[in-house]
Structure 1
Amino acid sequence: MYPFVRMFKELFVSRNAAPLPLTGTHVSHHICWPWDIDMWMELNNGRTLTLFDLGRIPLAQRVGLIRVLRKNRWGLTMAGVSVRYRRRVKPFDRVEMHSRAVGWDDKFIYLDQTLWKNGECTTQALYRSAVTGKGGVIAPARVMEAMGLDDNSPPLPAWVQAWIDADAVRPWPPVMDESAVDTEEMRKAS
């Protein structure tokens, strides 16, 4: 289940936090609860991505994006992610999350999020985010204009640009593996 209570708590906690510049870093603190773990007794990889919402949405609030989304009836969606899991997070571990926008291009805003435990990074996620409206994706330049900001992105770090370039040559839709065995068909056949 989506952690709505935790999200409302994060929005409540950050409601009076100082506004951030668009590329400022929002820092939040979280606990790995028993319902966040998998059968190996560590923070589940999918749950990690959900927990990153707990940093991104308050970040959007602090930089003024939520206000602009509401005013224009726009939405916010994730259009891709690349994740590195490097250290285990176990039940009841306390983690510090850092969330920040690193820049944008003509379609997407790129976000860097990290989890830290005892000063050591456990996980890093690079997200491709899009603002959406009735007509589809809203160009970041238009979003920046609506926020009253300069529409020029800071230079994207080389590792972010490398991911963008690699993803541009990735086939879409993906090629289906014709040799894959459907377990449902196997069950019906037996």
Structure 2
Amino acid sequence: MYPFLRLAKEFHVHRNAAPLPLTGMHVSRHVCWPWDLDLWMELNNGRTLTLLDLGRLPLAKRVGLIAALKAQRWGLTMAGVTVRYRRRIRMFDRFETRSRCIGWDARFIYIEQGMWRKGECANHALYRSAVTDANGIVAPARVMEAMGLDVASPPLPGWVCAWIEAEAYRPWPPMAD
């Protein structure tokens, strides 16, 4: 089940947090509960993606994206993700999630997130997100305008550009043969 109560808690905890610049870092703290575990008694890889929402959505609020989405009646969707898992997070481990927007292109906004435990990065994700309306994807330039910003994207890091390029070669639909 989606952790609605945990998400509500995050919005409550960060309700008075200072606004962030568009590429600012949002940090949230969490606990790995028994219902987050897999058969090997560690944080389930799918649950990791769900728990990353608990960092991304408050980040979106703090940078002003949620207000723009509401005003324009737009939606927000994830259009892709790549995750690197490196350290285990086990039951009752405390960890923090660091979330930030690292830039955008003509269609997508790229968000970097990591879960950190005891000073080490346990996993790292790169998300490609899209703002949507009834006609499909809303260009990030239009989103920035709705947020009252007149800014260009910072240069995307090389590893992000390489991922974008690799995704362009990925066949769609998959397994067509």
TM-score category of the 2 structures, normalised to the smaller one: over 0.9
For residues 58 and 12 of structure 2, the distance between their equivalents in structure 1, rounded to whole angstroms, comes to: 9
For residues 151 and 44 of structure 2, the distance between their equivalents in structure 1, rounded to whole angstroms, comes to: 37
The answer to whether the 8 A contact 1:140-1:151 is kept is no
Please, what TM-score do these two structures have when normalized by structure 1? Answer: 0.92
Secondary structure, counterpart of 2:69 in structure 1: helix
For residues 146 and 89 of structure 2, the distance between their equivalents in structure 1, rounded to whole angstroms, comes to: 39
After superposition, the C-alpha distances for 1:35-89 in whole angstroms (9 at most, x for unaligned) are 0000000000000000000000000000000000000000100000000000000
Please, what TM-score do these two structures have when normalized by structure 2? Answer: 0.99
What count of residue pairs does the alignment treat as equivalent? 177
Provide the residue aligned with 1:184 in structure 2.
Answer: none
For residues 135 and 15 of structure 2, the distance between their equivalents in structure 1, rounded to whole angstroms, comes to: 31
Provide the residue aligned with 1:40 in structure 2.
Answer: 40
For residues 149 and 108 of structure 2, the distance between their equivalents in structure 1, rounded to whole angstroms, comes to: 16
Displacement of 1:152: 1.1
Displacement of 1:90: 0.2
Provide the residue aligned with 1:173 in structure 2.
Answer: 173
Q: Partner amino acid for 1:32?
A: C
Provide the residue aligned with 2:55 in structure 1.
Answer: 55
For residues 13 and 159 of structure 2, the distance between their equivalents in structure 1, rounded to whole angstroms, comes to: 33
Provide the residue aligned with 1:85 in structure 2.
Answer: 85
For residues 71 and 146 of structure 2, the distance between their equivalents in structure 1, rounded to whole angstroms, comes to: 9
Provide the residue aligned with 2:112 in structure 1.
Answer: 112
Provide the residue aligned with 1:144 in structure 2.
Answer: 144
The answer to whether the 8 A contact 1:95-1:116 is kept is yes
Displacement of 1:149: 1.0
Displacement of 1:176: 3.8
Provide the residue aligned with 1:155 in structure 2.
Answer: 155
Secondary structure, counterpart of 2:71 in structure 1: helix
Secondary structure, counterpart of 2:102 in structure 1: strand
Cα RMSD for the two superposed structures: 0.7
Provide the residue aligned with 2:75 in structure 1.
Answer: 75
For residues 150 and 52 of structure 1, the distance between their equivalents in structure 2, rounded to whole angstroms, comes to: 28
Task: Give ranges in structure 1 of 5+ residues lacking alignment.
Answer: 178-190
Q: Partner amino acid for 1:6?
A: R
Task: Give ranges in structure 2 of 5+ residues lacking alignment.
Answer: none
Larger radius of gyration: 1
For residues 151 and 128 of structure 2, the distance between their equivalents in structure 1, rounded to whole angstroms, comes to: 17
